[in-house]
Structure 1
Amino acid sequence: MSRSTPGQVMSWLATLLTANVALAGAPAGSPGFALERLALNPGAAGSLLLGTGELLSQGELRLSTVWHYQHKPVLLASGNAHYQIIGNRLTTHLSAAYSPTTWLELSAQLPLVAFQRGQDAVAQGFAAPTPFGVSTPSLGARLGVLSQLRGHAMDLALGLSLGLPLGNASGLPPELGAHVTPQVMVGRRLGWFRLGLEAQALLRKRIDATPDAAIQQAAQGSELRLGAVAATLGQRLRWEVNVVGTSPLVDSAKSMEVLVGGRYLLNTSVELFAVGGVGLGASAGTPLYRVMVGSAFGGVSPTWMKGESSVNCSPGFKHTVDECPELDEDQDGIRNVVDKCPFESGILERGGCPFLDQDGDGIEDSRDGCPTEVGLVAYQGCPMPDGDQDGVADEVDSCPADYGPADNRGCPRRDKDGDGIEDDVDACPLQPGEAKFKGCPEEDRDGDGLANSLDSCPDMAGKTENHGCPDHEIPMVYLERDRFVLLGRVFFAPNQPKLEARSHAQLDWVARVIKEHPEFHHISVGAHSDNRGFAQTNLYMTQAQAQAVQWYLIERGVEPERLEARGYGDTRPIGDNNMVRGREQNRRVEFKIVQPD
């Protein structure tokens, strides 16, 4: 609905704001058109107003009720006089959206006029608007072509909406025939927010301008509408900013609206929201400002991608362990993402699980290959079978899982690592080596097939898959060529360089590995923080924390000259400091093996 706007605005809007003012009202007996210019996004996936290419999840139904106020949506200009044909308009907007499949969303919208009022312009040929009634209903369908949830680079959907000429409360004569609106919607998640673009073409019958020289109504017809939105993600309270522009195809009067909205998840089935903004331009149907307040029921919980925390992780909401990797369901101090028993309180050494031994053979179920059968440690808690059926009992079979002759200790004759040394005499059958090291690339003190530099238990024969330790030892530290890898975290008292007791077991393993590897001449202890607080304070704090770890290792028997402490503050992040998970990753202690030049 057309209106005049102030001319003193930014220069790039000058053409838009100085366009010819068109009459949105129509003289009695003249053809009418749909008054509702701004449509809602019925599924509201990604945005309340604009499509972002994302559809409701399969089987979800969303019902919405919106109270919508428009200020001065229809102004009449006759010479220097202006008439508010519709000065105030309040509608109740009902909408429903349903997705029978992952790629199809169906919708219906019904605007009901609860109240509207305007100036008396009967003398100018305009009847007073009806105070209440039905505006233009619409039916729609959207087809999801691409989806980030299905592994694509972006969300892309095509839509089609049909406006039905059944309304009687636009303040105008009934619209001429149905109108059709094809749509293209595209969007992408970018961390904690998403961007979306929507393009649509409103296709309807043309209404030519009135020939009255004193009161002229601009031509009405098909038009292009473009919109962009930026919206936040993953929180119970979310925000969005929408910019919508309209360009008619029958005249030069353009318009634009800027609207800001907020939405709050009351629970997993109810959402409250509000949108408000201003309009600029002379295109028919743009109010001076509009405000919308509403609620939605059903499919209102936003989707989440693997690795993200769902909005259902908010207190009081039901959720799965996969939805909330950063929470600690059993309150045992171990996050869900690393807790093998997220609903049973346990300890870090057992992966967050309690000690369970169903068969009573002294081997914990989490390490017992046969938890309901009494077995031996040598066979990972299972009885002594002949698993490969080679006639050599597993008790004396050096290769119990591979068929081989008895004269070769039950192993096949082969050379897995291709170093020219047969596996039956190769101490490191999976690593190319030299004959002087019994087939290993370097010294292997305990002869377990794993080089000392990669062996967490270099003085006890173990298994490669257990980082060189025997079955009864579960190492909390394993080695790479240039660093120690800790299976748990080092914890400090809040805002202090004081070690917490739960870190002692982890650091005891670090001290043990250092002492058992004299070939590691120098170890650098590095402490890191996230970017919260002052950078210089973070630097001082991490230096003190690194020194606290250094002194703990010295107290456990590590030579002081083999250690150095370095605090890096927040200068070396490995995660995104804008995310809770990223900040958690950045608060860490690292142990680097410094090789001599």
Structure 2
Amino acid sequence: MKRRILLRHLQLLSLLLTVPALAQTPLPGIDLERLELNPGAEGSLVVSLGELLPAGHYRATVALQYAHDPLLFERDGETFRIIGSRATTHLAVAYAATGWLQFGLQLPVVAFQSGSDLTGENIASPSSFALGTPAVSARAGLLTQDKGGGVDLALELGVGLPVGSQAGLARDGALRLAPRLMVGRHFGFLRGGLEVGFLSRPSQALTQRPGVLVDEVGNELRIGAALATTGRRLRWELNVRAMVPLTAQPGAVELLPGARYLVKPSFELFALAGMGVGSAPGTPLFRVMMGGAFGNVTPRRGPGESSVNCEPGLAHTIEECPEMDEDNDRVPNGIDRCPTVFGTLERNGCEKKDTDSDGLEDALDMCPVEPGPASSQGCPLRDTDKDGTEDDSDTCPNAAGPPENQGCPVRDADKDGLDNDKDACPNEAGPVERDGCPESDTDKDGVPNRIDSCANEVGTYENQGCPQHIFPLVVLHATRLETRGKIYFEPAQTRVNSRSNPVLDWVAQVILEHPEFPLIAVGAHTDDRGMPDANRRLSQGRAEAVRQYLIGKKVPPERLAAYGYGQDRPIDSNLTSVGRENNRRVEFLIVDPQADKTPSPKREPGTGETR
């Protein structure tokens, strides 16, 4: 279809009949240009796909565009070209102030335009050179695909300034607003997207019959779609731009395929060519555009894309281009252990080389300049102290020692067969089971003090270290003193019953004869009869009474501690009389005074009992 202004039965024509012959009808005040560049050119040259330039980057574009037959009219079957040829220079700049905000500026300049000689029709010819409508824009990024948004989404507001040339059909009558929403997504080596915008411009009647409007330029809906290749130096794109009129004007569609070539990281060449369908003013029969851009024109790598830098002649890192082959050895960079040296696939891209002549090639040799056996990955076996144990396994690589001691010399000052590092008493001989410390035996009866209930009297092992005529009432264990008798108290009182004195006297004697026991914890317990708080108070009072009895027997107070647990720590069932009797008890525990915890007595056979 032809782009035309219908002048059949024009009111304009009737006016021409009444004006002087030399007067010409001026052209309407409209901006005829329908092509706008995408200033940042992210993805497409003329359709925005929701992506912004990286923060701090800029792009400047210079393009020359030719449009054929953008404005015609017909009368009585004859076609007249108001503008048959139009060449326009487009200047555009984009700058990303932040990662989510980008500014743009466009300035079209009509370099040349011409058409039919319409002087006979009393219609003024447009200016051959004209300044177009400057447009500024601000674009805000809302979502990005690479940060989990799924798509690139942006919102832009453009403003066209009414400062162009009206005589050159390059200016609207007032300020022009152009908000638009754009969305795009990367699909591997392709990128697609869509933009929808609204153009608000002053309404301008072009042709009309008497009382009936035929053609008008005004508000319109602009829709664009694009599909572009990515990740290559030469990229292709297909653009479709459509106009849906919101006033009495015809619609239009343009199809614009194109190509872009990255000459170097800061310079790009491009070209577009396509055709227009529709009779809206400004829609050409065909359009051709070519130009160049400089600045930060190398496209960034999107999700799922290969890097455009992975093309011959462009600077890149080996990690950036794992599929390339820098050394041309047919081993891709991603698996080439020697990516800059020609090699073979079986050697992971490395050449066969054995610098130290140890029979292991350098690619497999952990010490390529020092000969060594394959068992040590080509590294020499080092034994600094010459003790037969390799340094890697030698705990003491600078001091000779037997293998069973991890290559360290055996140091045994007390000659007890235990190395000083493992000997708790390195200067005193002692058995292994006591960590090298000697057994203390004050009375020299062969029974160590730790289990001797009569440490100051010669006795037998079978009688707990006591003479045969003495029956010991206390048996020593590693963590407790076991009493061979019960501890009795006055009923419901804390006073110790006198029949418990013999047992407590033995306890006092054992504590005094064993200064190696720094602290004895006296723990008193009850059964569950009575109130818990009362039982705790009763048991605490009884533990204190036992402690005081022992202090009265010359045991230093600082070696004794009293704890009343009440019924909280039973060792038997409280449902039977036997069980309750077992739970009523007094225990004597050997504790570490440095341990920051309360002792937890446990029932052992033969422990004392609380009544």
TM-score by length of 1: 0.55
Deviation at 1:203, TM superposition (A): 0.9
1:181 to 178, 182, 185: 178
What is the 5 A alignment of 1:417-496? none
Query: Which residue matches 2:71?
Result: 74
**What corresponds to 1:3 in structure 2?**
3
Say whether residues 1:290 and 2:287 are aligned partners: yes
Q: Supply the AA of the counterpart residue of 2:318.
A: V
Indicate how the Cα distance of structure 1 residues 292 and 385 shifts in structure 2: closer, same or farther if over 3 A, else same.
farther
Q: State the Cα distance separating 1:84 from its structure 2 match.
A: 0.9
Equivalences for residues 255-404 of structure 1 within 5 A: 255-305=252-302, 308-331=305-328, 333-339=330-336, 342-343=339-340, 354=363, 355=365, 357=367, 384=395
Distance, in Å, in 2 between the alignment partners of 1:395 and 1:316 is: 59
For the residues of structure 2 that align with 1:334 and 1:111, how far apart are their CA atoms? Answer: 50
User: In the alignment, residue 3 of structure 1 is paired with which amino acid?
Assistant: R
Residue 251 of structure 1 pairs with residue 276 of structure 2: no
Match of 1:33 in 2: 30
**Unaligned 5+ runs, structure 2:** 17-23, 351-362, 398-403, 408-417, 423-611
- Answer whether contact 1:368 1:381 (CA < 8 A) is retained: no
The amino acid of 2:217's aligned partner reads Q
Q: What is the aligned partner in structure 1 of residue 137 from structure 2?
A: 140
Q: Tell whether the 8 Å contact from 1:3 to 1:21 is kept in structure 2 after alignment.
A: no
* Deviation, structure 1 residue 367: 8.6
Change over 3 Å in CA distance of 1:253–1:320 after alignment to 2: same
Provide the C-alpha distance between the structure 2 equivalents of 1:272 and 1:96, rounded to a whole number of angstroms.
16
Deviation at 1:380, TM superposition (A): 11
2:115 aligned to which of 113, 118, 140: 118
Q: Secondary structure at the match of 2:309?
A: helix
Q: 1:342 to 1:253 in 2, by over 3 A?
A: same
User: Which residue of structure 2 lines up, in the alignment, with residue 107 of structure 1?
Assistant: 104
Residue 218 of structure 1 aligns to a residue whose secondary structure is strand
Letter in 1 for 2:267: V
Q: Is the 8 A contact 1:33 1:175 kept in 2?
A: yes
SS at match of 2:319: coil
Q: CA deviation at 1:212?
A: 5.9
Aligned to 2:41: 44
Q: Secondary structure of 1:91's match? A: strand
**Alpha-carbon distance in structure 2 between the residues aligned to 1:249 and 1:328:** 56
C-alpha offsets along residues 338-378 of structure 1, whole Å, 9 cap, x if unaligned?
Answer: 345545667778866745649969699x9999xxxx99xx9
Q: How many aligned residue pairs are there?
A: 376
Mark the runs of 5 or more structure 1 residues left unpaired by the alignment.
Answer: 6-16, 387-392, 397-405, 411-597
Q: 1:273 to 1:381 in 2, by over 3 A?
A: farther
Alpha-carbon offset, residue 149 of structure 1? 3.0
After superposition, the Cα gap between the structure-2 partners of 1:381 and 1:271, relative to the gap in structure 1 and judged at 3 Å, is farther
Is this contact kept in 1: 2:216–2:249, CA < 8 A? no
Query: 1:330 Cα shift?
Result: 4.4
1:420-457: CA deviation from partner (whole Å, max 9, x where unpaired): xxxxxxxxxxxxxxxxxxxxxxxxxxxxxxxxxxxxxx
Q: Which amino acid aligns with 1:62?
A: R
Contact 1:37 1:285 in 2 (8 A): yes
Secondary structure at the counterpart of residue 178 of structure 2? strand
C-alpha displacement of 1:30? 6.8
Whichever residue aligns with residue 224 of structure 1, its letter is: L
- Tell me: CA distance 1:111–1:309, structure 2 relative to 1, closer, same or farther (3 Å): same
Shift of 1:299: 2.1
Higher Cα Rg: structure 1 or 2?
2
SS in 1 for 2:146: helix
Match of 1:85 in 2: 82
CA gap of 1:252–1:164, structure 2 versus 1, over 3 A, is closer
Distance change in 2, residues 1:338/1:367 (3 Å): farther
The share of aligned pairs that are identical, in percent, is 44
201, 205, 230: which one aligns with 1:233: 230
Distance 1:144 1:219 in 2: 35
| Alpha-carbon distance between aligned partners in 1 of 2:294 and 2:127, rounded to the nearest angstrom | 31
Q: Is the alpha carbon distance of 1:88 and 1:265 closer, same or farther for their aligned partners in structure 2, counting shifts above 3 Å? A: same
Pick aligned residue for 2:204 from 199, 204, 207: 207
